[in-house]
Amino acid sequence: MDKILMTNVRVLDCSGAEPFLGEVLVEGRMIRKVSDQLNALPKQGARVVEGDGAFLMPGLVESHTHLGLNNSNDMFALSALPAEEHTLLAMRNARFYLDHGFTSCMSAGSVKPRLDVVIRNAINAGEIPGPRLLASSPWLTVTGGLLDQHRYHMRREGVGIVLDGPENYRRVVREMIREGVDTIKLIISGDTGIPYAPSHSTVMSEEEVAMVAREVHCRGRRIGAHARSAHSVKLCVRYGVKIVYHATFADEEALDMLQANRDRLFVSPNIGFTAAGIRDTAALGEAGREAHAVFEEEMEAASRALSQLRKRGVRILGGGDYGFESTPHGQNAKDIEFLVKDFNFSPMEAIQTMTRYGGEAMDLAEPLGQVKEGFLADLLLVSGNPLEEINVLQEPRRFLAIMKDGKFHKEPAAGLPLQAAPVGQVSIARQSGSN
């Protein structure tokens, strides 16, 4: 079995512990040993990577990915992209995410029914580079819901699948699972700035949600749901949704319900998307005034909900809705910065939304998201301290090496280009302390 020993690295294991200088031994796909001492783990038969004091942390986990988006806001034009071109686009994006340190992604909506499934399968077969991916169905929505792009005056389809009534949901959920998705994506509430389905409204019926839950859970799959209104959040909890997206207007009762079920669910607020909306509508001046007010209202509500959820110990996930014009792919780790700067998360807590808790939300047979023995070897070697320089994770050039499944996607550069001085001092202190 392939052995790789990473030595002289500062391990940010993302359990919540402070980083320590040490070594990590990778065997095959797994992290076999972690030591807080140097020269402690066996070198025999191992390729030794000298980390020169760089930080070693888990690969990042994105909780709300759309690999089929093309950095444009025109979802209708995107729906017109032929399947062949679309597959190539998603394939390039998959590699782009891995290049940006994302070793795992949970899709929150495939732009074509089989797009995620095909990309996931090709990644798993080693045919193309990309993160470990949980494949999603397209957005399942109701008539007049978010991503219902039908119009009376012309025949056209959009990227969402529009369904009304439990029986229609039952059929499509069964079809999607037949095609191989891991996740069914529901649009239970309205969304920001949609006049006929604003965020406060709950557009799916309880009967529809209940039917989906029945069909999904008896097949061992999961539901991820767009839920901004208070009632939609309650439906999510009542029917076992695993990832509640947004939870913007969660009221006291909804917060209580989330808290009571915090061991089995996650909330992914997608804060970067709202922050980008505020920034972009402000730049429009008077023309963007109305939209700006809506985004600000949502940010305020999200901020309230998020601080409550944090207090109540609900696991928060990072990432979400990158791939639009104002939130291009690859900037996903900005969410970590937003959580620190605007929501009073400590850097450690914010980073855990994209590592430890992301790994828990992936919920695979083998654990991931921390640098720990018995965890999958998804690792980043980082030039700089992510706890002190929070935006270091937004810069792929700072990743000296990227490992997924025990294999380097990005090989460690020969003679790692580090400014080693302050790091070296710490390492010496640690060394004498621990030996």
- 397 CB neighbour count, 10 Å cutoff: 7
Beta-carbon contacts of 170 under 8 Å, excluding residues fewer than 6 positions away, are: 211, 212, 215
Residue closer to Zn ion by CB (options 321, 349) is: 321
Q: Which helix (H) or strand (E) holds 343?
A: helix 334-343
For the bound state, the minimum distance from the C-beta of residue 139 to Zn ion, rounded and expressed in Å, comes to 8
Residue closer to Zn ion by CB (options 108, 184) is: 108
Residue closer to Zn ion by CB (options 90, 108) is: 108
For the bound state, the minimum distance from the C-beta of residue 84 to Zn ion, rounded and expressed in Å, comes to 24
Residue closer to Zn ion by CB (options 65, 355) is: 65
Segment lying near Zn ion (by CB under 5 A), choices 52-60, 101-109, 326-334, 346-354: 101-109
Paired strand residues for 62: 105
For the bound state, the minimum distance from the C-beta of residue 380 to Zn ion, rounded and expressed in Å, comes to 25
- 36 CB neighbour count, 10 Å cutoff: 15
For the bound state, the minimum distance from the C-beta of residue 273 to Zn ion, rounded and expressed in Å, comes to 8
For the bound state, the minimum distance from the C-beta of residue 185 to Zn ion, rounded and expressed in Å, comes to 8
CA distances from 334 to 338, 347, 354 (A): 6, 12, 11
Q: Looking at residues 102 to 121 of the shown chain, list those that interact with Zn ion (rule: CB under 5 A).
A: 108
Segment lying near Zn ion (by CB under 5 A), choices 42-50, 79-87, 317-325, 353-361: 317-325
Residue closer to Zn ion by CB (options 54, 247) is: 247
Segment lying near Zn ion (by CB under 5 A), choices 14-22, 193-201, 313-321, 350-358: 313-321
Q: Looking at this protein, which amino acid is placed at residue 153?
A: H
Tokens of 262: 């915090």
Compose the 200-229 pattern: x for residues touching Zn ion by CB under 5 A, - for all others.
------------------------------
Segment lying near Zn ion (by CB under 5 A), choices 50-58, 198-206, 318-326, 377-385: 318-326
Residue closer to Zn ion by CB (options 32, 185) is: 185
For the bound state, the minimum distance from the C-beta of residue 64 to Zn ion, rounded and expressed in Å, comes to 5
Residue nearest to Zn ion (CB): 321
Report the candidate in 192, 195, 189 with the shortest Cα–Cα distance to residue 208. 189
Q: How many residues bind Zn ion (CB under 5 A)?
A: 2
Tokens of 198: 């604003």
Tokens of 411: 């090989």
Radius of gyration for the chain, computed over Cα atoms and rounded to the nearest angstrom: 22
| Whole-number Å distance between alpha carbons of 33 and 26 | 7
For the bound state, the minimum distance from the C-beta of residue 391 to Zn ion, rounded and expressed in Å, comes to 23
Residue closer to Zn ion by CB (options 15, 149) is: 149
3-state DSSP: the chain helix, strand, coil percent, rounded to 5? 35, 20, 40
What are phi and psi for residue 214, nearest 5 degrees? Answer: -60, -50
| Whole-number Å distance between alpha carbons of 417 and 48 | 17
**3-class SS string, 50-118:** ECCCCEEEECEEEEEECCCCCCCCCHHHHHCCCHHHHHHHHHHHHHHHHHCCEEEEEECCCCCCCHHHH
For the bound state, the minimum distance from the C-beta of residue 268 to Zn ion, rounded and expressed in Å, comes to 10
For the bound state, the minimum distance from the C-beta of residue 108 to Zn ion, rounded and expressed in Å, comes to 5
| Whole-number Å distance between alpha carbons of 361 and 317 | 8
Residue closer to Zn ion by CB (options 132, 226) is: 226
Residue closer to Zn ion by CB (options 63, 103) is: 63
Q: Looking at this protein, which amino acid is placed at residue 169?
A: Y
CA distances from 90 to 60, 139, 172, 352 (A): 19, 17, 23, 27
Residue closer to Zn ion by CB (options 110, 385) is: 110
Residue closer to Zn ion by CB (options 321, 337) is: 321
Q: Does 321 bind Zn ion (CB under 5 A)?
A: yes
Segment lying near Zn ion (by CB under 5 A), choices 90-98, 174-182, 319-327, 400-408: 319-327
For the bound state, the minimum distance from the C-beta of residue 320 to Zn ion, rounded and expressed in Å, comes to 6
For the bound state, the minimum distance from the C-beta of residue 189 to Zn ion, rounded and expressed in Å, comes to 13
Binding residues for Zn ion, per CB under 5 A? 108, 321
